[in-house]
Amino acid sequence: MNYVQNIMSALDVFCVASKSEGFPNVLREAIACATPAVATDVGDVREILGDPRLVATAGDPASLAACINYVLAQGEEGRRALALRQRAEVEARYDIERVWDRYRDLYRPI
């Protein structure tokens, strides 16, 4: 039984409130569980989430609260639709074959 998946899937919204971060894998893990996610604007968060309404200014609780409220205001069906859109985007962008291609291209001799 995957406890983390069960917990993340039960959330109305997942939130990463970091002041500093590189590439928050936990954000992608929540999205993979079809849980709508918001986060502070650190590291690659803006690229992962793709929607500025879901990205808060780091260190600004009011900004983060606004992002959370935006998601909650969508209602249950809207949150589900958002979560499925986020999941599809993350799956497309970070598919293992695409990631492998990026690494291969990065290390390919010039």
CA distances from 103 to 19, 48, 95, 96, 108 (A): 28, 18, 13, 11, 8
Q: Are 56 and 39 in contact (CB under 8 A)?
A: yes
- Quick one: pLDDT band at residue 40, thresholds 50, 70, 90? very high
Most confident of 8-12, 67-71, 87-91: 67-71
Rounded to whole angstroms, how far apart are CA atoms 2 and 81? 24
| C-beta atoms surrounding 52 within 10 Å | 10
Any idea where the domains of the chain sit in the sequence? Answer: 3-107
The pLDDT tens digits of the residues spanning 52-66 come to 999 999 999 999 999
26 pLDDT above the threshold of 70: yes
Q: Which residue has the higher pLDDT, 52 or 3?
A: 52
Side chain identity at 20, as an amino acid letter? S
- Nearest CA among 91, 84, 106, 95 for reference residue 36: 84
Question: Is residue 46 predicted with pLDDT exceeding 80?
Answer: yes
Share of the chain above pLDDT 90, in %: 72
Q: What is the pTM of this model?
A: 0.84
pLDDT for 1 = 57
User: In the prediction, which pLDDT does 98 show?
Assistant: 80
Span between the terminal Cα atoms of the chain, in Å: 46
Q: What is the dotted CATH code of the domain comprising 3-107?
A: 3.40.50.2000
Return the pLDDT at 102.
81
